[in-house]
Amino acid sequence: MNAPLRQAVIDLDAYRANIDLVREWMDPVEVMAVVKADSYGHGLEPVALAAVDAGIGWLGVLTVGNALRLRSIGVGDEVRLFAWQHDPDLDFRDAVDSGVDLGVSGLDELERIAAAVDQRIARVHLGVDTGLHRDGVALDAWPALARRARELVDAGLVEVVAAYTHLAETSDDEDAAAVDRYRGALQVADELGLPIPIRHAAASLPALTRPEFRFDMVRMGSNLLGMPGAPGVSASDLGLTPVMTLRGSVAKVKRVAAGTGVSYDYTFRADRETTLALIPIGYADAVPRSAQGRIAIAIDGQRYPIVGRVAMDQFLVDVGDDDVRVGDTATLFGTGEDGELTVLEWGQALDVIPEEITCRIGGRVPRVYEGHAVDGRVSAYLRGEPQ
């Protein structure tokens, strides 16, 4: 049977197994499953619903829009949705009314959130910048933010759910210094009479490697998807399974003579008579031009190198004299169990992190969801049924 031109297969059983394993490692610390950037290219709604079905009680969604999208498909108030990147002109009213937890990176954001309170108290996580210089207020502005937050708590407008920071992951010493600054900010809040019920600082890598950074909750994204962030560590080393497999079909095969130039600029010329197979996936689908000469894809368990320039919609592989035919399945990356590279190996070959690869896979590559975990709410969502 002919394979589809292109598809990304998402194994939700693997995702749930990864969740179970990571939660076991982190116990008793709470795990927030981060599903930003369309769940790192794996699909926001199915992955988030699978996480909830697996017992996850916190989802990190980045934006209010994504939080409201998940509320609209049936993710109820029993699941906390944390959004921390806000449009400067965002009206927070729908977010507050929908019980979305809002990251706060400054006094202005806090005031706008408080002004949006109508039907229910706003839930906020106060961000402190400990050295990454992205989210959160600078340390010298932290006392004013904490003081104003306490006033809004007393006024019944705001509930301070947590204080959070994000680490630069530059070195153990620099991360430890950042955590010390975070602890100092927590001490300031305590001295100002502002209780902080939940503390979260560590994302995937430091949460794995530095237990003392875990506090009350960790934010996990790539680990749950089988893309560990620890240098030199594969998913299989940790017992995790890559969740996405990227596949295409062999669309054309062509026999060429020795010396034949291939694709744009003839950056490859056949050194012998050989067969070329065309795979209809290109740089519009996250296969960069730099993959030429660095990446091999698998057909029937055998690896074949990408040759010639990767084009927008296709690339070629040199299959030699092997019996490769139109319609055969080409696996670009997956679990590694059938001869293919993993996405982590792609990242190592291309000098990028695996998340960069999966996030760039565009919408013309259909996501196909597999596994028993598709049952229930995921299946209903995929069928378009109301939640």
Instruction: State the catalytic residue, choosing from 40, 182, 254, 264.
Output: 264
Alpha-carbon radius of gyration of the chain: 24
The single-letter DSSP state of residue 285 is G
Q: Give the residue range(s) of CATH 2.40.37.10 domains in the chain.
A: 244-372
Q: Give the residue range(s) of CATH 3.20.20.10 domains in the chain.
A: 12-225
In angstroms, rounded to a whole number, what is the distance separating the alpha carbons of residues 201 and 218? Answer: 7
Q: Is 47 helix (H, G, I), strand (E, B) or coil?
A: helix
64-72 vs 44-53: helix crossing angle, rounded to 10: 60
Tokens in use for 171? 């070195």
In order along its 387 residues, the chain shows pLDDT tens digits of 466 899 999 999 999 999 999 999 999 999 999 999 999 999 999 999 999 999 999 999 999 999 999 999 999 999 999 999 999 999 999 999 999 999 999 999 999 999 999 989 999 999 999 999 999 999 999 999 999 999 999 999 999 999 999 999 989 999 999 999 999 999 999 999 999 999 999 998 889 889 999 999 999 999 999 998 777 778 888 999 999 999 999 999 999 999 999 999 999 999 999 999 999 999 999 999 999 999 999 999 999 999 999 999 999 999 999 999 999 999 999 999 999 999 999 999 999 999 999 999 999 999 999 998 788 788 888 888 776
In angstroms, rounded to a whole number, what is the distance separating the alpha carbons of residues 174 and 374? Answer: 42
In angstroms, rounded to a whole number, what is the distance separating the alpha carbons of residues 182 and 187? Answer: 9
To the query of whether residue 254 is one of the catalytic residues in this protein, the response is no
Q: Which residues pair with 248 in a beta bridge?
A: 6, 330
To the query of whether residue 36 is one of the catalytic residues in this protein, the response is yes
In angstroms, rounded to a whole number, what is the distance separating the alpha carbons of residues 164 and 29? Answer: 15
Instruction: State the catalytic residue, choosing from 36, 164, 304, 369.
Output: 36
Other residues' Cβ atoms within 10 Å of the Cβ of residue 358:
27
In angstroms, rounded to a whole number, what is the distance separating the alpha carbons of residues 366 and 383? Answer: 15
CB-CB contact of 328 with 300 (8 Å) = yes
For strand 198-200 and strand 158-164, is the pairing parallel, antiparallel, or unpaired?
parallel
In angstroms, rounded to a whole number, what is the distance separating the alpha carbons of residues 167 and 136? Answer: 12
Can you spell out the DSSP letters for 291-342? GTTT-EEEETTEEEEEES---SS-EEEEEETS---TT-EEEEESSSTTSPBP
- Among 255, 274, 256, 253, smallest CA distance to 326 is for 253
CATH topology of domain 12-225: TIM Barrel (3.20.20)
CATH number of 244-372: 2.40.37.10
Can you spell out the DSSP letters for 9-39? EEEHHHHHHHHHHHHHHHTTSEEEEE-HHHH
